[in-house]
């Protein structure tokens, strides 16, 4: 294989791989493991870089290799790719590329392009009997097509180059779409009318080759391939020699090329091979060029069609069945309706709560009950020390006796002014004694009604002082309860008075109690790091086992909605708020 062809081949490869800065095709010296350069390529203004490490890595593993995001001496970052060149079982060399650093997702695309290009390099190595002119003709043909700016220009240039290279009278290029071929370009003719008989017959010949997935050469009496459409073109229009080659891209037919000559110049094997190799190289470029120039709506339609084709195909059947199942599930969830219930933490409270407070300041003497105990009306709950009050009462009694004696003396002496002063002092002493007696009567604290102590444990505070008015106990009746539901502020808008619901207590998880919303407080409060509203509800048919302070979970029935909305409304509300905040 000549260095001339290798250099032309490498130039085309570097044009196909974007952001290429340098490239080299290295060959192994016979009988050694040393590499010698066969062809090199360098972009304008780029530094060559050292390709030896990536080449040695690819040769050592006999696998494609890459070095991503490598720091260069000029402080730039580059990616290196290399792939061994193998023909049969023989390792011939390695191809290495230096690219400007880009996204990791393009690694596979680079390797795919290298693999596709190496197939033609391997083919050329395996067919060394062909002359350099043969490969030069192929490369010049490809280079001429790639110089064009638009897809129609590529078609016209390809038809013209093939006609000139192979000395053909006509060369027609057709596109395969919707199971039939349409001629889109023809050499030696600027104006194209697909309705002409010649072009229709040529399109039929292209369909004949595509349907048989074979190259058709006319005349050819040895081949068993059907040639009816080709023979009809030859008979009606005088073209005695025809050659039709289907074009493939990604395993699918994209079109065909038909070459026409006179009967005196039939197509030989060299012409067939040149066309075959040239079309195999140019077909992917033509397909990508056509897609790139399509309108946005057309690209969207093609992508949608391809996506639907892949979705309904057998590839990845398990994943597709899972996706279909999920879609059906979401569809049913959006149609079927269920009860929407607001869930909130609940606490059981008595409808009436009475506070037992300290009547006077003093010292705690006894505590007969504590939280959780059941008490009867009039039962002693606690008492205060009365020693100080008794001393105060004795003191006031002594003062009263003294004032009365002085009153009698002043009355006997006729001192009316003193009588009035002492009489007032006697009244004051009587009032203070009466107050002390009343305080003595209140030092024993009794239950105001039958109920249960829901707060207060003074058993560990005996002898400690208490202030007047301080809360010692809270009592709730054994009958008549209310439920306090702590509804989150995000769900309070769904709650209305009169709505029904259910309650499950932690102490009785197997039983469900019915409730009715009675009142919604208008002020929010913070509880466990979130804003909640207190919603009061009444219980229906409350059992005797209930006690104030029990906790559980309540659910308020607010109406019916689709299951999909019930499951997603919280996330949607959060999303709307987040979008609004931005």
Can you give the pTM of this predicted structure?
0.42
129 — pLDDT class (breaks 50, 70, 90): very low
357 contacts 342 by C-beta, under 8 angstroms: no
What was the pLDDT predicted at 192?
65
More confident residue, 252 or 386: 252
Of 101-110, 123-132, 370-379, the range with the lowest mean pLDDT is 123-132
Cα separations in angstroms, 189 against 185, 275, 369:
8, 21, 113
Count of CB atoms situated within 10 Å of the CB of 452? 19
What was the pLDDT predicted at 256?
92
555 — pLDDT class (breaks 50, 70, 90): very high
Long-range pairs of 89-92 with CB within 8 A, sequence gap ≥ 24: 91/28, 91/59, 91/62, 92/27, 92/28, 92/125
507 contacts 550 by C-beta, under 8 angstroms: yes
More confident residue, 516 or 409: 516
What was the pLDDT predicted at 554?
93
What was the pLDDT predicted at 122?
59
What was the pLDDT predicted at 128?
44
Before 87, cis peptide (omega within 30)? no
Strands 362-367 and 465-466, sheet pairing: antiparallel
Judge whether residue 310 has pLDDT over 80: no
State the average pLDDT over residues 78-99: 81
Q: What is the pLDDT of residues 426-467, one digit of tens each?
A: 888 888 888 878 777 777 778 877 777 877 777 777 778 888
413 vs 178: CA distance, rounded Å:
142
What was the pLDDT predicted at 76?
82
Hunting for tokens 């001496």 — which residue is that?
Answer: 73
What was the pLDDT predicted at 237?
86
Start-end of H helices in 179-316:
197-212, 228-237, 269-292, 296-312
554 contacts 539 by C-beta, under 8 angstroms: no
Q: What is the pLDDT of residues 196-247, one digit of tens each?
A: 788 888 999 999 999 988 889 988 877 778 888 888 888 888 888 999 999 8
Element (DSSP H or E) covering residue 132? helix 132-146
What was the pLDDT predicted at 244?
92
Hunting for tokens 């006729």 — which residue is that?
Answer: 414
Whole-number percent of the chain with pLDDT over 70: 91
Start-end of H helices in 22-100:
52-61
Judge whether residue 250 has pLDDT over 60: yes
484 contacts 363 by C-beta, under 8 angstroms: no
84 contacts 111 by C-beta, under 8 angstroms: no
> Within a 13 Å sphere around the CA of 206, how many CA atoms are in the beta-carbon half?
29
507 — pLDDT class (breaks 50, 70, 90): confident
276 vs 82: CA distance, rounded Å:
27
Tokens of 480: 């008549």
């Amino acid at each position: 294989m000549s260095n001339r062809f290798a250099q032309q081949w490498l130039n085309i490869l570097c044009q196909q791989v974007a952001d290429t800065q340098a490239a080299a095709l290295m060959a192994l010296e016979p009988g050694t493991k040393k590499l010698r350069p066969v062809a090199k390529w360098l972009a304008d203004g780029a530094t060559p870089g050292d390709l030896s490490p990536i080449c040695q890595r690819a040769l050592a593993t006999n696998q494609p290799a890459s070095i991503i995001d490598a720091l260069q001496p000029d402080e730039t970052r580059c990616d290196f790719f290399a792939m061994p060149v193998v023909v049969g079982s023989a390792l011939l060399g390695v191809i290495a590329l230096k690219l400007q650093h880009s996204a990791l997702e393009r690694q596979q695309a680079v390797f795919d392009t290298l693999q596709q290009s190496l197939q033609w390099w391997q083919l050329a190595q395996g067919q060394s009997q062909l002359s350099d002119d043969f490969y030069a003709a192929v490369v010049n043909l490809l280079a001429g097509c790639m110089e064009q700016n638009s897809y129609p220009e590529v078609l016209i240039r390809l038809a013209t180059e093939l006609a000139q290279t192979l000395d053909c009278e006509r060369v027609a290029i057709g596109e395969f779409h919707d199971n039939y071929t349409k001629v889109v370009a023809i050499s030696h003719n600027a104006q194209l009318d697909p309705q002409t008989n010649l072009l229709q017959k040529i399109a039929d010949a292209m369909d004949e080759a595509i349907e048989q997935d074979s190259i058709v050469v006319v005349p050819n009496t040895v081949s068993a391939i059907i040639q009816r459409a080709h023979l009809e073109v030859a008979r009606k229009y005088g073209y005695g020699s025809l050659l039709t080659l289907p074009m493939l891209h990604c395993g699918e037919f994209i079109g065909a090329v038909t070459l026409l000559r006179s009967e005196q110049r039939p197509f030989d094997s060299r012409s067939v091979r040149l066309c075959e190799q040239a079309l195999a190289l140019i077909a992917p470029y033509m397909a990508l060029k056509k897609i790139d120039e399509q309108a946005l709506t057309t690209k969207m339609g093609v992508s949608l069609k391809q996506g639907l084709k892949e979705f309904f195909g057998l590839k990845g059947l398990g994943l597709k069945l899972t996706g279909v199942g999920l879609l059906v599930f979401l569809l049913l969830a959006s149609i079927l309706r269920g009860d929407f219930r607001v869930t909130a933490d609940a606490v059981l409270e008595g409808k009436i709560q009475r506070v037992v407070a300290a009547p006077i300041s003093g010292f705690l003497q006894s505590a007969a009950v504590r939280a959780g105990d059941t008490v009867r009306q009039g039962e002693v709950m606690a008492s205060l020390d009365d020693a100080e009050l008794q001393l105060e009462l004795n003191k006031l009694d002594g003062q009263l006796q003294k004032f009365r004696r002085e009153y009698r003396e002043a009355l006997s002496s006729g001192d009316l002014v003193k009588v009035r002063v002492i009489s007032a002092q006697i009244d004051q002493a009587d009032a203070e004694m009466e107050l002390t007696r009343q305080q003595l009567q209140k030092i024993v604290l009794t239950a105001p009604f039958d109920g249960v102590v829901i707060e207060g444990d003074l058993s560990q505070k005996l002898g400690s002082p208490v202030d007047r008015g301080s809360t010692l106990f809270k009592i709730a009746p054994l009958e008549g309860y209310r439920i306090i539901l702590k509804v989150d502020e995000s769900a309070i808008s769904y709650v209305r008075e009169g709505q029904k619901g259910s309650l499950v207590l932690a102490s009785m998880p197997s039983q469900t109690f019915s409730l009715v919303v009675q009142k919604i407080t208008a002020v929010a409060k913070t509880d466990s790091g979130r804003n909640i509203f207190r919603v009061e509800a009444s219980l229906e048919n409350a059992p005797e086992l209930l006690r104030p302070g029990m906790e559980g979970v309540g659910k308020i029935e607010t109406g019916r909605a689709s299951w999909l909305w019930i499951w997603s409304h919280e996330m949607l509300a959060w999303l709307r708020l987040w979008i609004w905040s931005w």
